[in-house]
A and B are shown apart, each in its own frame.
Chain A
């Protein structure tokens, strides 16, 4: 048997330039096993959440992660609203869905863009980011910030989409659609992308179920699990969309699935803009939170996000605990990386769209 040795990868610049440390056992160029070491960006956010009142925590949870920065406060607000018995007005629910889907498009485009960058196809990376810029401009124009939308608040949403803003948002979407289509074609057909990503980092369905992976990683391996469909929240029940799934379970299929999901999200935003009823976007006043416990979950761009909240009746939560999608996905790297080449490590890590700042918080 050939000699194996340990190759340290990280903590910086594995794929997303977020700190994650891998001890990779290699035999020549082939990966034989790996150890994950996390904890480089632990910020103690759950403890911070216990020292801030319910309203301050909306802002705090928004800053857990930049790419799913709407999913976190939205799910946190859902947990608080369940506990306080608040019903969010229908228009507010629709506005939350719009914010969530805009973030999803931007997040997925970012991930496939980074994949092109890791393949070495930097001009495609630049182009994907340029396409994503349409959504970034939409966020800035509608919500006032390119990453932290500040849309959710306890009992509804903070900004309304009036006629003028809706027209602007529709314009951005119309400009995005053909570009997204074109981008899909490039990622699907380009020989460079195909050679580097097809058949790499395969996660078979049985393993996907065993590791209980979530989000696009699960769906690309044939587990069509989507919280938006399995346990509809907000107004997802009234919206038509298809849960994307694939059976290949490799790096390429995960990227393609993300692009297809982005297309679905665009159609969801369009439906929302069309169906949204008139009316208030939030409840009147500031509600008090009684003692008790509640759980809320939603589909973040990376998969299922769960929030647990316990209140003792004061204005500060006794405990807020969240489980992020990446936590479920990164153990599955053991399967995906087994037998891969050293050069494919960043590609595989990126294909689970890891969010280290979410996971370590």
Chain B
């Protein structure tokens, strides 16, 4: 018993080592993986978060009128692995440090984060394309901002036009 007595007295003098929660806030580290959060203004609807989610906590339902996608993140299904946030190419899904997830049983089917992500429109023909939020244009579409906002068909045409224009100029120069 003797070797332990010293430790016991030391621990006794140290006082409680538990947090006094709920009377004071419990300390939460900066990197804590809590409740996931979805920012629709950054979402490009690529669906990788849904692909890597082992728990099936993410649903993407197409709106009936075809105007966009309803993005649902179920906090009760989520296992806080953070794979969605890790693989999200635009940082739309993040893990917050919020671990306050207690709620009433009657809120069980509404305890989710629902957001609506509208499809983008081709700046030329108006066809439906993946969303092109401004943050993403600034981040990924800086090389040719005009073409970044086109649908695949218009993009192809504009590329062909660009190439032929270039060829014509070259031909003219040669002549």
Contact = CB atoms under 8 A, between A and B. Distances in A.
B83 interface: yes
Nearest to A123: B8
A140 B29 contact: yes
Query: Is the interface on chain A under 10, 10 to 19, 20 to 34, or 35 or more residues?
Result: 35 or more
B86 to A, nearest CB: 5
Interface in A165-218: 165, 182, 185-186, 189-192
Contact of A189 (B3, B11, B29, B82): B3
A158 B79 CA distance: 16
A59 interface: yes
A130 B31 contact: no
B83 A59 contact: yes
A57 B54 contact: yes
Contacts of A150: 33, 81-83
Interface in A145-166: 145, 148, 150, 153, 158-159, 165
B46 to A, nearest CB: 12
Contacts of A186: 3-4, 7
Interface residues of B, number: 25
Interface in A121-142: 121, 123-124, 127, 130, 133, 140-142
A2 interface: no
B53 interface: yes
A185 B17 contact: no
Interface in B26-57: 29-33, 51-55
Interface of B: 1, 3-4, 7-8, 11, 17, 29-33, 51-55, 79-83, 86-87, 95
28 contacts: A52-B54, A53-B51, A55-B52, A56-B51, A56-B54, A56-B83, A58-B54, A58-B83, A59-B54, A59-B81, A59-B83, A123-B8, A130-B11, A130-B17, A142-B31, A144-B29, A144-B32, A144-B33, A144-B82, A145-B32, A148-B79, A148-B81, A150-B81, A150-B82, A150-B83, A165-B31, A190-B1, A190-B3
